[in-house]
Structure 1
Amino acid sequence: MLNKKARVYFSCFMLILGTLIGFLLSKWSEIGSLGWREPDVITLTVRMPENGSLPSRMIYGKPDIAKAPRRDVMVLSPWLAPIVWAGTFNRDLLMEEFQHKKYRIGLTVTAIGKYVKLLKKFLESTERYFMKGGMVTYYVFTDRPDKVKALSLEVNRPLKIITVPKYPTWGHVVLGRMEILKNQSEVLFQQEVDYVVSLDVDMVLFSHIGVEILGELVSVIHPGYYHSPRKDLPYERRPASQAFIPEDEGDFYYQANFFVGTVQRIYQLATACYEGIVKDKANDIQAVVYEESHFNKYLVYNKPTKLLSPEYIWMNNLWRLKDIRIKRIVHGEKKF
């Protein structure tokens, strides 16, 4: 049996323990989400106008020019294009500017053959995480429009189905995408949107993708090669191909499954890639990574105006996570 003094100590201990447990339980939703919390989102104060003399505006801390936003990664390319990482921008401030200008965004996705089955999950994630508060139109390129309609997609944004040819192989599909983008930029996009965002259907968004991705010509650094030396980048090295890049040239290796740009710049990119693909085909050549080889060739000589870090297109089979604070998109989720 415990003596009186021991019982008092035990009661105090249990009281403190119970209080601590209660506090942790009340904060459990916050604690459980820390691993996925956006490190770059800061809530800003909105100051309302006084007597109509000044417009409403956001109040935020003064930037410190001597303080780097990230010290562990490159945040500016050698040609002065920003590289977007978590912690390098303020989404609230960007959104304020974006809403004033009322940009229209076209999100394109190709759903061919059995890949139509992935469209529902893709759009569910874009509805939740893509460009919240923006004017977005979905453009679905598909050879099975009836199958797309049968999915009974529940989206709160305009969705346009654009029928494309039935391709014999997946290789023809990826090579044909640049022709589709070229044609639609001429006849449709220039009338309806300011920016085009191209994504693959086997992607799932896990965190917010906002106006920080917008730019004149924007590409994503490949997560599998962002620490690789130039000699290990999977460029097309055969001089006979239109996608040829000499061994002493090249900056980064970019993924062709996520890129952004103004309608004019996307048209120029898609046209150059399409023409290179056609010339290679006439010479019975297929670039080593299909249209992605031509895409990288174009960007070597037409530098992107903004780069997105590998966090914007991660792959779960990759092990390196030291400098990836958040996985915004995961690619390769092919569960039919």
Structure 2
Amino acid sequence: MFSRRTDVLTVTPWMAPIVWEGTFDRAVIDNAYKPLNLTIATTVFAVGKYTRFLRDFLSTAEQHYMVGLKVHYYIFTDQPSQFHNRWGPEVLDTLVAAIHPWFYYLDREHFTYERRPSSKAYIPVGQGDFYYMGAVFGGRVEDVHKLTKTCREHLEEDKKLDLEAVWQEESHLNWYLLHNKPSKLLSPEYLWDDLKGHRPVEIKVIRFSAIIKNKGEVRENV
């Protein structure tokens, strides 16, 4: 499945692959997964002012996301990020997380983990593998259910103490993935941030990017 790239990290210390352009053969991957007749469940949360991004998200997903496979979208909304390139079955595995595009080249002492011991998201200095972006995670139903259930319980325990982790749900996700290693990691190609501007040479293709938005306008806690 994986070929060699020497300019980026392609495997974690616990031997989970990190998916970059040039580390997989598209035809081999597609031919392996299509006969399995898989159904991909994709959950999208779009509430309040975030509903304005739904149309572009779904239209670009139809062009690039799991093309050729059966996909069910579950839209949670009270009423656009842009796919740009292929998001195929090379991303599928037991428990999958995305490396944050602002931290993938930094050492862990620069990660913005929750550092207060009183929080359930606490990660001490000197610990940590990668900094994961909270916008995307996935895997088998039972594994994702365990992740979300644990993070919700931890959020509620913090709330009882009148605590909010530094990056809210993302902080709790990082705690969970430190203690429950993902079986596959997605490189920043799969979740880029347009605010970074110039694309570094190691990013061969941008598959999905978060659009530049006014966080103060769309987020209540900013």
SS in 2 for 1:138: strand
1:330 maps onto 2:209 in alignment? yes
The amino acid across from 1:108 in the alignment is: T
> What's 1:278 paired with?
156
RMSD after superposition: 1.6
Which 4+ stretches in 1 moved above 6 angstroms? none
Are the equivalent residues in 1 in contact too, given 2:12–2:18 (CA < 8 A)?
A: yes
What is the number of residues matched between the two proteins? 214
Are the equivalent residues in 1 in contact too, given 2:195–2:212 (CA < 8 A)?
A: no
Aligned partner of 2:78 among 118, 136, 143: 143
> What's 2:61 paired with?
126
Task: Please show how residues 1-336 of structure 1 align to structure 2 within 5 Å.
Answer: 69-144=4-79, 202-318=80-196, 319=198, 321-334=200-213
1:99 Cα deviation after fit: 1.3
Give the structure-1-normalised TM-score.
0.62
SS in 2 for 1:317: helix
Give the structure-2-normalised TM-score.
0.92
Are the equivalent residues in 1 in contact too, given 2:67–2:88 (CA < 8 A)?
A: yes
The amino acid across from 1:236 in the alignment is: E
Higher helix share: 1
1:320 Cα deviation after fit: 5.1
> What's 1:153 paired with?
none
Which segments of 5 or more consecutive residues in structure 1 lack a partner in the other structure? 1-62, 145-201
The amino acid across from 2:208 in the alignment is: I
1:203 Cα deviation after fit: 2.1
Give the distance between the partners of 2:107 and 2:212, measured in 1 at CA. 28
Cα 1:93/1:105, change in 2 over 3 Å: same
The amino acid across from 1:330 in the alignment is: S
1:333 Cα deviation after fit: 4.1
Are the equivalent residues in 1 in contact too, given 2:100–2:133 (CA < 8 A)?
A: yes
RCO higher in 1 or 2 (8 Å CA, sep ≥ 6)?
2
Which segments of 5 or more consecutive residues in structure 2 lack a partner in the other structure? none
Find the structure with the greater CA-based Rg: 1
1:127 Cα deviation after fit: 0.7
Give the distance between the partners of 2:73 and 2:6, measured in 1 at CA. 37
The amino acid across from 1:323 in the alignment is: E
